[in-house]
Structure 1
Amino acid sequence: MTIWNPSIVAFSLGPIEVRWYSLCWCIGLALAYVVVYKLYKRQGIPQEKFDPLFLYCFIGILAGARLGHCLLYEPGYFLSHPLEMLLPMHKMADGSWKFTGYAGLASHGGTFGLMIALWLYVRRTKVNLMRVLDNIAIATPICACFIRLGNLMNSEIVGKYTGSDMGFVFVQLHETMPRYPAQLYEAIAYLVLFVVGVLIYFKRPQRVGSGFYFGYCLTTIFVFRFAVEFLKEVQEPWELAMQHSIGLDQGQLLSIPFVLIGIYCMCGGKWCKRFAEK
């Protein structure tokens, strides 16, 4: 049994508190940035075509993840409080505003937002679409790993009770019973997927641009995401009725299309070949 009670604040700079969640996001994005930079350099893609990529990815992931959470998990609240979808703040009962950060980000929405951002990036830079998707996909799991570590430091997206002495006791949730550390399971899985993806790349660099690595990333990440959801608590109470009726939660339903797209790309579907030829 592990008693889990870390501070959510990593360090302070005067009155500014830097939280572990934000720090993990920044580390994950920075590592992904370095990986893609190295890949572009190895493939001879000009520096000026790499420079705008980070901005497109950052905005696409953040906007997609935020809107995904608001519209897929809490539409009733956020459609009546639209400013809170865009601002990292919460309107209090007395009418004042409190800075909370973006408390609610959905990985499925982030993935969709990233795809749109990369499409816009390709239109501007004229870099081959499948090459861009493959390069980003090789780096994505390391970013996902650190995002889940941030969730762990926040004691959020927790697993179900283990029913034994094994697991993490999340003190910040005012609990005394151990749960599965589902966030840690995901972080470890994504780290392994990143290492495996890099090893495959070094053996098969010529497959970049075919859509294979994009498919690998989608398939492996969302297959694991689908599986680990069975150990997680639902994020919203209404998902309990969904689980009772069909045996799956929202995260699992949203994972299925990404898995199917991933398998299609790994198998070299005709649309992948079409875009790879451009």
Structure 2
Amino acid sequence: MLIYPEIDPIAFQLGPLKVHWYGIMYLIGFSLAWILGAKRAKHPNAVITKDQVSDLIFYGALGVVLGGRLGYILFYNLPTYINTPLTIFKVWQGGMSFHGGLIGVLVAMWLYAHKINRRFFEITDFIAPLIPLGLMMGRIGNFINGELWGRPTDLPWGMIFPHAGDSIVRHPSQLYQAALEGVVLFIILWLFSKRPRPIMAVSGLFLMGYGIFRFLAEFARTPDAHLGFIAFDWMTMGQILTLPMLIIGGLLMGLAYFAKEE
């Protein structure tokens, strides 16, 4: 068993301003997306110029934060926010939904594509490889907050999470997700997108890759206490929300390569 490294969620304080590690992780994630976007903008025939990367990331950041927060409220914890609506602003405490953030980013990319007169899927293909390392940083933020802990395990790297309120040794599922949805998915998408691909292919691979990794990681993650298992006594809300991603991702990949052959 490993010892959970309890970290103060507040990185530092400047007078009354408390800077939380969770927010810093998001800032690092957006910074990595900007660096990778600037690198991709140098590729021949890139649909985004280096000067446009900052605006692209700004639109994406708004989509992540607004969509992620609203998605968490709608998908995971609507009654709580109805009773205490001001809690919606306490983003430093966690409570962000990837699926809501994805919807927010898609809306933001549609608006940005319209602004620069590009096709929607040209933009989503461009940003798809920029997303996974940001997801990784978000999961590290979850780990620092001691939230979204895993299910019981007897594996040697299991941990006791104090916020779980018990002494059960659990999977560090946040780190599993950081590795799979972050590092592994980034490598797959980055290598895949280095060569010219038909439009929609990179977007489709992102949806399928994330869907597979998230579906698998949910087996090690404790379901939200107020939701439990949603279907068949084993499917979680995260897995249910991921199924449309797998279907849509597969359709996009099929359309991309079918259209190319046509």
Q: What is the distance in 1 between the residues matched to 2:119 and 2:47?
A: 13
* The one of 178, 183, 189 aligned to 2:169: 178
* Structure 2 partner of 1:23: 24
* Structure 2 partner of 1:252: 239
Q: What is the distance in 1 between the residues matched to 2:92 and 2:224?
A: 18
SS in structure 2 of the partner of residue 258 of structure 1? helix
Q: Is the 8 A contact 1:140 1:217 kept in 2?
A: no
| Residue 201 of structure 1: how far off its partner (Å) | 2.3
| Residue 273 of structure 1: how far off its partner (Å) | 5.4
- Correspondence 1:84-95 to 2 at 5 A: 84-85=87-88, 87-88=89-90
- Correspondence 1:1-278 to 2 at 5 A: 1-4=1-4, 5-42=6-43, 43=46, 45-85=48-88, 87-88=89-90, 101=92, 103-163=94-154, 166-189=157-180, 190-202=182-194, 204=195, 206-207=196-197, 210-240=199-229, 242-243=230-231, 245-269=232-256
| Residue 128 of structure 1: how far off its partner (Å) | 2.7
In the superposition, the TM-score normalised over structure 2's length comes to: 0.88
1:33-63 deviation per Cα after TM superposition (whole angstroms, max 9, x unaligned): 2111221232263345434212211111111
Q: What is the distance in 1 between the residues matched to 2:49 and 2:61?
A: 20
CA-atom RMSD in angstroms? 2.3
| Residue 126 of structure 1: how far off its partner (Å) | 1.0
Q: What is the distance in 1 between the residues matched to 2:51 and 2:93?
A: 31
Q: CA 1:120/1:44 → structure 2, altered by over 3 Å: closer, same or farther? A: closer
Q: What is the distance in 1 between the residues matched to 2:254 and 2:225?
A: 35
Q: CA 1:128/1:9 → structure 2, altered by over 3 Å: closer, same or farther? A: same
Q: Structure 1: which 5+ runs fail to align?
A: 89-99
Q: Is the 8 A contact 1:165 1:178 kept in 2?
A: no
In the superposition, the TM-score normalised over structure 1's length comes to: 0.84
Q: What is the distance in 2 between the residues matched to 1:166 and 1:199?
A: 30
Q: CA 1:273/1:123 → structure 2, altered by over 3 Å: closer, same or farther? A: farther
Q: What is the distance in 1 between the residues matched to 2:139 and 2:51?
A: 32
Q: What is the distance in 2 between the residues matched to 1:13 and 1:222?
A: 40
Higher mean C-alpha displacement, 40-49 vs 58-67: 40-49
Fraction of identical pairs, as percent: 30
- Corresponding pairs, count: 256
SS in structure 2 of the partner of residue 2 of structure 1? coil
Q: What is the distance in 1 between the residues matched to 2:19 and 2:211?
A: 30
SS in structure 1 of the partner of residue 153 of structure 2? coil
Higher mean C-alpha displacement, 168-177 vs 23-32: 168-177
Q: Structure 2: which 5+ runs fail to align?
A: none
